[in-house]
Chains A and B, each alone.
Chain A
C-alpha cells in the first residue's frame, strides 16, 4: 500500500513539475520571440529613417528626403505645401539634375487600431515607402528660427525652420498576456531644414 501511495504521489508531483517546466519554456519562448521581433522592428524603422541598399539599389530614407526641403525652390515659391501634425508635404530637388519634386510624409486613418505611415514622391497615389505601422499617429512638431514651437504651422509656413518627428512603430506580439511589453519602437528624430536657413 505504501509503495502504491508513493507511486501515486510521485506521479502527481512529477506531472506538476512537467507542467511547470513546459509552462516556463513557453514563457521563455515568447519572451525570446518578442525580443527577436523588437530587434527586427528596430532595424526596419532605422532603415526607413536612414535608408538602405537592397541588391545594389539604394532606397532613400526619411532623413534624405527631409534634407531636400526647399532645395532648388525659388524664393517666390512656398517650399512647404502642408504642415500638420501627421502630414508634412513639401517641395525640393532630389538631385541637382532633377526637377523640383513634391514629397509627402503622412500617417493615415487607423486600420484595426494601428496607423499606416506612407512616403509619397510626386505620385500621390502610389507611395515609394509604406505602409509602416504605427501604434500612435505620426506626431510632427514644427519650430521657428529661435527653436520655439509653432502652434499653427500650416498658417505659418514662412516661420518653419525645423521639425521634430515622433514615431511609435509597432508589431503584433505573439502572446501579449505573457510579455506585457508590447513590441514597439518609439523614436524621435529632429531635422533642421538647412535650405531654409540660406
Chain B
C-alpha cells in the first residue's frame, strides 16, 4: 500500500512536469501569432509612408515624411493585445548607415512591444534590431 502511495506521489510530479512542458510549447505557438501580427503592423506603416510619397502631388514630401515619423508613437489593439508602436526616421546613406547622413536617404525604424495574454512582454523589433526600410528621395 505504501509503495502504491509512493508511486502516486512520483507519477503526480512527472505529470505536472509534462503538463508544464506542453504548456510552454503552447506559449511558444501562441506568442508566434503575436510576433507575426507585429510584423504586419510594421509593414502597414512602411506601406503608408511609401504610398504618401507617391505621385506628382504627393500627400507628403520627403522632408514632411521625415518630420512626421521622426518620433512617432501609436498603439493598436488587436485580438485583446495592445501593440505599442514606436517609429523613428533618420537621414542616412544608401546603405542605411547614419554616420554620413544624406538628406536624400531616410531610414525608417519600427519597434513594437506588447504584453502577451500569458503576461510576457514581447519585443517585435528592438532598439538594436528594429524593422528598417531605407527610402530615397527621387525628387519627382
What's the least CB distance linking A44 to chain B, in Å? 13
CA distance A10 to B6 in the complex (A): 11
- Interface status of B19 (Cβ within 8 A of chain A): yes
Q: Which of the candidate stretches B22-30, B93-101, B121-129 sits at the interface with the other chain? A: B22-30
A35 contacts B25, C-beta separation under 8 Å: yes
- What is the interface residue range for chain B against chain A? 35 or more
Question: Across the two chains, which residue of chain B brings its CB closest to A21?
Answer: B11
Main secondary structure of the interface of A (DSSP, over half): helix
0/1 string, B28-47, CB within 8 A of A gives 1? 01101100110010011001
Tell me the chain A residues, 1-25 only, with Cβ under 8 Å from chain B: 6, 9-10, 13-14, 16-17, 20-21, 24
Chain A, 159-198, CB within 8 A of any chain B CB: 161-162, 181, 185-194, 197-198
B138 at the interface (CB under 8 A from A): no
Separation in Å of the B122 CB from the closest CB of chain A? 16
Tell me the A133-151 residues at the B interface (CB within 8 Å): 145, 147
Q: Tell me, rounded to whole Å, the shortest Cβ–Cβ distance linking B48 to chain A.
A: 6
| B40 x A162 contact (CB < 8 A) | no
Contact A42 B19 (CB under 8 A): no
The B interface is mostly helix, strand or loop, or mixed, namely: helix
In the complex the two chains form, is B15's CB within 8 Å of A188's CB?
Answer: no
Q: Does B1 contact A190, Cβ atoms closer than 8 Å?
A: no
Is B64 an interface residue when CB atoms closer than 8 A count as contact? no
Contact between A194 and B50 (Cβ–Cβ < 8 Å)?
A: yes
User: Of all chain B residues, which has the CB nearest A14?
Assistant: B4
Partner of B43, one of A6, A16, A39, A190: A190
Do B55 and A31 have beta carbons less than 8 Å apart? Answer: no
Q: Does A32 sit within 8 A of B, measured CB to CB?
A: yes
Whether B51 lies near A162 (C-beta < 8 A) is: yes
Q: Is the beta-carbon distance between B15 and A147 smaller than 8 angstroms?
A: no
Is the Cβ of A6 less than 8 Å from the Cβ of B36?
no
Known: A39-B29, A145-B59, A188-B37. Contact between A10 and B22, CB under 8 A?
Answer: no
Q: Does A38 contact B (CB under 8 A)?
A: yes
- Decide: A31 and B26 in contact? CB cutoff 8 A: yes
In the complex, A28→B23 CA distance in Å?
9
Q: Which of A13, A14, A185, A197 contacts B59 (CB 8 A)?
A: A197
B8 A28 Cβ-Cβ under 8 A? no
B40 touches A189 (CB 8 A): yes
Would you list which residues of chain A between 30 and 82 have a CB under 8 Å from chain B?
31-32, 35, 38-39, 42, 46
Instruction: Tell me the minimal C-beta distance from A66 to chain B in angstroms.
Output: 11
Smallest beta-carbon distance A69→chain B, Å: 12
Q: Which A-B residue pairs are the 6 nearest by beta carbons?
A: A190-B44, A192-B51, A192-B47, A197-B54, A186-B79, A10-B4
Known: A20-B15, A31-B26, A187-B33. 4 other contacts (CB 8 A): A9-B1, A188-B37, A189-B40, A191-B47
